Structure 1
Amino acid sequence: MRLDVLGGCGAWPTARQGCSGYVVDSGGFRLLIDPGYATLPRLWEREGGVDGIDAVLVSHGHPDHCADLNPLLRARDLSDEPPEALGVYAPVGAVDAVLALDKPGMLADAYDLHEFGPGQRFEIGPFRVDTWLLPHFVPNAGVRLSAEGAVLAYTGDTGPSEDVPRLAREADVLLSEATYPYEVPRADADFLLTAHLAGGYATRAGAGHLVLTHLWPGTDRDVALEAGAASFGGTLSVAEPGLVVPAG
C-alpha cells in the first residue's frame, strides 16, 4: 500500500498547494480520497490524465474535501472516450451539492454513488474500509483502510475524540487533521485538532508514521512538525504535494 499526497492545505488552496487530496494505491488499484479544491491539476500532473483512478472516497461534505469531484467527473464524462462509471463512496448527502453543480443528469453516467453512514464497514476494491463518526461541523467519517497486510488511517477533519486512537490502532500510517500547531481557537476547539494532539493520539495508537494534514493556510510547517514531535517519537511528515509514504 502507498499514499501519494496531492494536497494538504486546510480551508482554501494557496499558490503552493491544493486542499486535501490523497491517492492510496494497493496492488495497482488507485483510490482517490477527498478531492478537495485544486487537487485535480496535481492529479492530472502525476497521472497524465484522470482515467487511472478506480474509485473515490469522501470523508465529509466540506468543499475543501470534495469540490474537485465535479471537474474530475466532467473530465472523464466529456472526453472522447469516457471511461466506465467511477465508484464514489461518501457519507449520506455529503456530495449532493457538488453533484448538483451541473444540470440534472448531465454527469449521471460518470459515477456510481455509494452512500454510507459513518460506523459502517464495506469494501472498495482490495481495501477493507472501517469507518468512525468523528466530531466536526458536519458529519465526518474517519476511515481505516486495510489491504496487503497494511493499515492506513485517516481522520478526515475532526475535533478531539477517543475514537481517533481506536481508528489508528497500530496503523502503519496515520494521516491526521492538524489545523493548528498547539491551540485551536475556542469557538472551533470541539471540531479541529492540533498537531500536538495528533501526535499524542498517534503515540497512544502505536502508529508507525504520522502525516499531519489540513494545516491552516500560512502555517509554518516546521512549527507544525515541532508540535507533533513534542508528543510523538515516530516518523513524522507534513502532507505536501509530492509526498509519497509507503505503508507496510
Structure 2
Amino acid sequence: MHLTVLGCRSGMPADGQASSGYLVETASTKLLLDCGPGIAAALTAVTDPAELDGVVISHLHADHCYDLLPIGKSLLSATLDFPGGPPARSSSLRPVPLYVPAGARSLFTRWAALFPVVTAPLLDQAFERAFAVHEYTPGDRFEIGDTTVGLHELRHVAPNCGVRVETSTAVLAYTGDTGYADSAVKLATEADLLLAEATLSAPDRTSHGHLSGGDAGRIAAEAGARALALTHFASIEPAWLQHLFDDATGSFDGPIRVVRAGERIRVLA
C-alpha cells in the first residue's frame, strides 16, 4: 500500500499547496480520501481520475470535498466531442463510486445545478453520471477492490468519520478532522500508519474539534499505531511544523513524519 499526499493544507489552498486530499494505492485499487480545493489538478499529475476505484469523503467542509465537482465534470467531458475541440478521450464512462456522509446527495445535486452548461447538459450531471453516490453512516464497512473501508465517527463541528483502509498486508487510518476522542484511538488501533490532522499548536478546548501535534501523538501511542504522519497544516513555516513534530514526539516514540505535498509514502505492514 502506498499513500500519495496530494494536498495537506487546512482550510483553503495556500503557498501553492492544495487542501486535503490523499491517494491510496494497493496492488489493484486506487482510492481518493477527501477532495479539497486544488486536489482535482494535483490528482491529474499522478493518475487519470477515471482510474479511481472509489472516493471517500470524511465530512462536508469545503476543504475536504470542494473539488468533487471539477473532477466529476472532467470525467464527463472526456466523453464529449466539442465542435472545433479535441476528440473525446473515451467513448464510455464508468461511474466512480463516491462514499459521502448521509444527506450529501441532495446537497451535491443543488451545488452542480448552480453552474449549468446549456450547450452540454451532460456536464451538469456530475453526481448522477460521473459518480455512483453512496451515502454512509458511522460504523459502515464496505469493500472497494482489495480493500476494506471502515467509517469511524469522530469529534468535529460537522459530522466527520475517520477512514480505516485495510488490506491483507497493511492498515491505514485517516482522521479527517477531529478533536481528541476515544473513537480516534479505536480508528487507529494497531494501524501501520496513522495519517492525522495536526492543525493546532495547542490542544483544542472548544467544540470545534481539531488536533494538535501532541494530540495526534497521544492517539498514535494509545492505539499502538506503528507510525504517525502529521497533515492538515495551518502554516508551513518551518518553526510551526517543527513545533508540531516536537509536540508529537512528546507522546509517541514511533516514527513520525510531517508530510509534504506530492510525497509518496509506503505504508508498511
Which residue of the partner structure matches residue 121 of structure 2? none
The one-character-per-residue Cα deviations of 1:86-141 (angstroms, maximum 9, x if unpaired) are 10011112464344322386222111011110112221221111221111111111
**Structure 1 stretches lacking a partner, 5+ long:** none
Greater mean deviation of Cα atoms: 9-18 or 67-76: 9-18
Which residue of the partner structure matches residue 71 of structure 2? 72
CA distance in 1 between partners of 2:5 and 2:105 (Å): 21
**Structure 2 stretches lacking a partner, 5+ long:** 79-87, 117-123
CA distance in 2 between partners of 1:3 and 1:144 (Å): 13
Q: What TM-score results when the alignment is normalised by the length of structure 1?
A: 0.92
Which SS does the other structure have where 1:101 is aligned?
helix
Amino acid at match of 1:106: Q
Which residue of the partner structure matches residue 18 of structure 2? 18
CA distance in 2 between partners of 1:222 and 1:57 (Å): 30
Which residue of the partner structure matches residue 244 of structure 1? 264
Rate the CA distance shift 1:246–1:151 in 2: closer, same or farther, 3 A: same
Amino acid at match of 1:208: R
Deviation (angstroms), 1:231: 1.2
The structure richer in strand per residue is: 1
Which SS does the other structure have where 1:51 is aligned?
helix
Amino acid at match of 2:169: G
The 5-angstrom pairing of residues 200-211 of structure 1 reads 200-211=218-229
The one-character-per-residue Cα deviations of 1:38-70 (angstroms, maximum 9, x if unpaired) are 1111111122x3222221111111110010111
CA contact (8 A) 1:132 1:143 kept: yes
The question of 1:152 aligning with 2:176 is answered: no
CA distance in 2 between partners of 1:217 and 1:68 (Å): 21
CA contact (8 A) 2:19 2:232 kept: yes
The 5-angstrom pairing of residues 130-141 of structure 1 reads 130-141=150-161
CA distance in 2 between partners of 1:44 and 1:129 (Å): 24
Which SS does the other structure have where 2:97 is aligned?
strand
Deviation (angstroms), 1:205: 1.1
Q: Note the aligned Cα RMSD (angstroms).
A: 1.8
CA contact (8 A) 2:50 2:94 kept: no
Deviation (angstroms), 1:12: 1.1
CA distance in 1 between partners of 2:249 and 2:214 (Å): 7
Which residue of the partner structure matches residue 56 of structure 2? 57
The 5-angstrom pairing of residues 1-248 of structure 1 reads 1-47=1-47, 49-79=48-78, 80=88, 81=90, 82-94=92-104, 96-103=106-113, 106-107=125-126, 108-184=128-204, 186-188=205-207, 191-218=209-236, 220-247=240-267, 248=269
The one-character-per-residue Cα deviations of 1:138-196 (angstroms, maximum 9, x if unpaired) are 11111211113210011111112011111111100001121113233x445x5111110
Q: How many residues align?
A: 245
Q: Percent identity?
A: 36
Q: What TM-score results when the alignment is normalised by the length of structure 2?
A: 0.85
Rate the CA distance shift 1:69–1:23 in 2: closer, same or farther, 3 A: same
Rate the CA distance shift 1:195–1:94 in 2: closer, same or farther, 3 A: farther
Which SS does the other structure have where 1:167 is aligned?
helix
State the 4+ residue runs in structure 1 displaced beyond 4 angstroms.
Answer: none
Amino acid at match of 1:141: C
Which residue of the partner structure matches residue 119 of structure 2? none
CA distance in 2 between partners of 1:151 and 1:218 (Å): 28
The structure with the largest alpha-carbon Rg is 2
